Amino acid sequence: PKLVVTNREGETSEIEVEDGLTVMEAIRDNGFDELLALCGGCCSCATCHIHIDDGATDKLPPMSEDEDDLLESSEHRKENSRLSCQIPFTPELDGLKVTIAEED
């Protein structure tokens, strides 16, 4: 399945995601080093913050309280904010479009 990523410069690319990865791993493994993902996916750093484009937030698994709390610490939180390490990229999400959030 494919994931469409827009970076902080506004450039959009399409990446092919292997089964079993989270959205964070897919983005990071494709060379977007601006997605720091400092904690490696354990929901404690908030440097994997993304915005979900085109109103697709409904398709995603609900947010945990931890994720919600961490996002609250970001100045760039929006309605469509998520932590990308908390989203397993399942085949149903094929074509999902996301934008890497500004740096905090």
Report the interface residues with ligand FES, using CB under 6 A.
Answer: 24, 37-39, 41, 43-48, 83, 85
Q: Where are the alpha helices (DSSP H) in 3-98?
A: 23-29, 65-72
33's CB contacts (< 8 A; 6+ apart) are none
| Min separation Cβ 4 and ligand FES, Å | 20
Using Cβ positions, the residue closest to ligand FES within the complex turns out to be: 85
| Min separation Cβ 39 and ligand FES, Å | 3
**Cα 41 to Cα 53: distance, rounded to the nearest angstrom:** 21
Instruction: Identify which of residues 71 and 93 has a Cβ nearer to ligand FES in the complex.
Output: 71
